[in-house]
Structure 1
Amino acid sequence: MTEELGLRARKKRQTASRIWQAAVDLCSERGFDHVSVAEIAEAAEVSKMTVFNYFGTKEGVIVSPMEEHVGDPARAVRERQPGESAVAALRGQFLEQVTGRDASIGLSGDPRTLKVRQLISETPTLAHRMVSFHMRSVQLLADALAEETGDMLLARVAAAQLIGARNALIMENHQRSLVDDPLDEIAKDCAASAERVFGQVEKGLQGYPGKN
């Protein structure tokens, strides 16, 4: 039974990846607004209903790999060690992602990941979707902080600063990738920048919140 479930999960991941790849290729070539879900389904050799079942919307097909990471910062805070600040937890998580060349922070050699970035910048509906994604990430982090402190206002302020710092680093990675800077150089510089950027945030937050 376990083997059967594992095989089923792998097939689902493969199908989702095939749909995503087809969507990115078509939309990059012709523009997001000029590609239908039916055309994506045909290119991926699945039904139109399968596309909707996997992703919900056409926008979801393009950005779903990014949206899977919406809760990463909140998870870092909840899983951090006693005495570790939220800043230190997010910095540690981010540096692990740098080491792993994680596509979710803009470190990927996959050309399609760069195409997604370009599609988002060129397509208002996708850009709006990403604004909602960032707002959700901030709120999830604020919820995690407020659970400890009981002060949602300060939690939102802290979450906004932390997500803002993280996003600035990710944007730098994307911009450098678009001009074909070597991935290893981008990652090396990103690690150094992460220490500097999160260090600046920590000076302002001063260890908030402490964890007993």
Structure 2
Amino acid sequence: MVEGLRTRKKERTRRALSDVAIAMFLEHGFDRVGVAEIAAAAEVSKPTLFRYFSSKEDLVLHRVADHRAEAAAVVRARPAGRTPLDALHDAFLAGLDAREPTTGLCDDPEVMAYHRLVFDTPSLAARLVEYGAAQTESLAQAMSEAADAAPRAPGSTSRPVPHLTSRLVAAQYVAVRQILARDNWAALASGRTVAEVHREAVAAAGTAFELLRHGAQAHGL
């Protein structure tokens, strides 16, 4: 009980610090705001801030970090008869329909501004790649588990899917998802509406996942 309260309090503090930093970055620009200024605005010391975040970039990408395990969770919770990539495709389409920020197809002004901050700041874009690596590893593990648990035909001589294969497919998925999300955001940023972009976003996702499936199916994924 006590540990649970501590964890929730720590998470609330992390979110509060992140919110203060992001608001300052959006108003003044990422490179024009220092850590000392963020700490002062949040009424904490610099050492306290660094106990929660190791860098300015992490202050922004805290929101992204919340989603790093979602793809693996989707694979593990997929319905019977659906492959990992089927489940991930289903989840992405559902996200488009729901206008989830992670799909890029969300025209909420705050979400649009946040995406612009991330995509237009080189150090944030680079750090986002590192976050993708963590998502790749968690997804690859879930895919390996799925492949190992898949029924095999009697007398089949097929071998278990190597973890390398799962990692390669997972990395391709993470890259594809980032590209789709960025393209959706860019379309909205150009002045187009969600309704106009939605059909194209669905079609683009269909093309992307078909390309992924074509290579993955030969390896049982």
Aligned to 1:165: 176
* 2-structure distance, mates of 1:11, 1:159: 31
The residue identity in structure 1 corresponding to 2:169 is: A
Aligned to 2:157: none
Cα deviation for residue 12 of structure 1 reads 5.8
Contact (CA 8 Å) 2:161, 2:220: kept in 1 or not? no
* 1-structure distance, mates of 2:190, 2:181: 15
User: Structure 1 length normalisation: TM-score?
Assistant: 0.79
Is the alpha carbon distance of 1:180 and 1:42 closer, same or farther for their aligned partners in structure 2, counting shifts above 3 Å?
Answer: farther
* 1-structure distance, mates of 2:73, 2:219: 16
Aligned to 2:113: 115
Corresponding residue pairs, total: 207
Cα deviation for residue 17 of structure 1 reads 5.0
Cα deviation for residue 53 of structure 1 reads 4.9
Pair 1:73-2:84 in alignment = no
The residue identity in structure 2 corresponding to 1:168 is: I
Which runs of 5 or more residues in structure 2 are unaligned? 149-159
Which runs of 5 or more residues in structure 1 are unaligned? none
Aligned to 2:18: 20
Is the alpha carbon distance of 1:150 and 1:200 closer, same or farther for their aligned partners in structure 2, counting shifts above 3 Å?
Answer: closer
Aligned to 1:185: 196
Q: Which has the larger radius of gyration?
A: 2
* 1-structure distance, mates of 2:11, 2:217: 45
The residue correspondences of 1:68-147 to structure 2 (distance < 5 A) are: 68-147=66-145
CA shift digits 1:176-211 (9 cap, x unpaired):
12213212333343223222321232223227536x
Contact (CA 8 Å) 2:169, 2:212: kept in 1 or not? no
CA shift digits 1:73-128 (9 cap, x unpaired):
22221221233112101001111211221112213333333333333344333222
Q: Runs ≥4 in structure 1, deviation > 6 angstroms?
A: none
* 2-structure distance, mates of 1:136, 1:25: 26
Aligned to 2:33: 35
Aligned to 1:209: 220
Is the alpha carbon distance of 1:185 and 1:43 closer, same or farther for their aligned partners in structure 2, counting shifts above 3 Å?
Answer: farther
The residue correspondences of 1:33-72 to structure 2 (distance < 5 A) are: 33-44=31-42, 48=46, 51-72=49-70
